Structure 1
C-alpha cells in the first residue's frame, strides 16, 4: 500500500481531536507548533506541551487566547536558546534538541502532573528532533513516550511535518500510534 493510500484509509480529518484515555495519535501538520486549535476544551484542564517550536511565553499567550487557564498547563521547552520565563505555566528545565536523555527526564517530571484518564500530552515537532538526533534514538524516545502515555492513560498528540520524513521512516514511526490525523484532512 502506498503512503497516500495508507493516509487516505487511516487518516481522519482534523477538527476537534476526540481521544480516549491512553490513545496515541500522530498529527500531520503543514508547519511546526502545537495543535491547540484541534484539542478539545477539557485537554486544557491537564495538559503537558513538549515544544521545540514555541517559547513558554508564546505558549502562555496562545493558551490564554484560547480562553484557558495557563496554570493547568506544563511545558517542556526543547531549544538550544536560553529564555526567561516567569509566569503561571509549570515549566521544566530547557533541554537541547539533541539531548534525548534530558528530554525523557524532563517529560517524566511532567508526567507527574498529568492525571490518569484526564491528562493530555502534545509533542509539537517530531521533525525537529530528527534534525538533531539519529532516527533510531528518536524512535526509542517516542516509543517510550507512547508506551508511558498508554500505561498512564494519558491522551497524546504527536505532531509531524510529514514532508520532512522519508516514506520508509514514516511507516516505521507510524506504527507507534493508534491513528493518524491530517491537518489538511
Structure 2
C-alpha cells in the first residue's frame, strides 16, 4: 500500500479480540487513521477532540459516525447534536467519573468486535498523578479484556520520560510505533 507521496504506508492496526495495544504516534498524527476500516463499526473514543471535530475526522477517514461513541475530555461544556453517541465532558483528572462512563459505554460495544481507543494518554498524565493513571489504565484494560474488546491507547512517546513509557509498554499485549 502506498500513500499519495509515494511512500509505503504502514498497514492498519491488526489486533485479536481482547488484545490491548500501546500506539506511539507523532504529535500531529491522529491515531484514528491507524484503525482498520472495520474498527469503526463498534468504536468508543476517549478524546479531548470536540465531538463535531471527531465526526469530521471520521468522515475524512470514510468511517460512519453512527457506530461511534465518544467520551469527551474537556474542561468546557460541549454542544453536539450529531449521529455519534456522546456524553457530558469530563476533566482529565476525573478518572473515577471516566471509569464509570467507560464501564457503561463498553456495554454498548459488540463483544469480540468492538474497539476502545484513547487518542492521547499524555493528556491524563499531565493532569493526574502517574500512579493513578496507571491504575486506571490497568482497570480499563481489564474491562476491555472481559468483554473481548480491542483496546488502543495512543501516546506521543517523545513527550514522555523513558520510565513512564516503559511502564505503559509493560501493561499492554502489543506495542506499535507509528511515529
Give TM-score scaled by structure 1 length: 0.88
For residues 5-27 of structure 1, give each alpha carbon's deviation from its aligned partner in whole angstroms, at most 9, with x where no partner exists: xxxxxxxx952101100010000
Unaligned stretches of 5+ residues in structure 1: 1-12
1:155 equivalenced with 2:153 (yes/no): no
Q: What is the distance in 2 between the residues matched to 1:96 and 1:72?
A: 24
Aligned to 1:114: 109
8 Å CA contact 1:34–1:51 kept in 2: the answer is no
Please give the TM-score of this superposition, normalised by the length of structure 2. 0.91
Residue-by-residue CA offset, 1:28-78 (whole Å, 9 max, x unaligned): 0111664121111111110000002x1110111111222222110000001
Pair 154,32 (structure 1): closer, same or farther in 2 beyond 3 Å: farther
Indicate the larger mover: 128-137 or 105-114.
105-114
Question: 1:100, 1:143 → 2: CA distance?
Answer: 12
Q: Does 1:42 align with 2:38?
A: yes
| Residues 1-185 of structure 1: pairs in structure 2 closer than 5 A | 14-31=10-27, 34-52=30-48, 54-184=49-179
Does structure 2 conserve the Cα–Cα contact (< 8 Å) formed by 1:120 and 1:154? yes
Moved over 2 A (4+): none
Gaps of 5+ in 2: 1-8
Count of residue pairs brought into register by the alignment? 171
Once the two structures are superposed, residues 67-98 of structure 1 have per-residue CA deviations (whole angstroms, 9 ceiling, x without a partner) of 22211000000111221001100002210111
Please tell me the root mean square deviation across aligned C-alpha atoms, in Å. 1.5
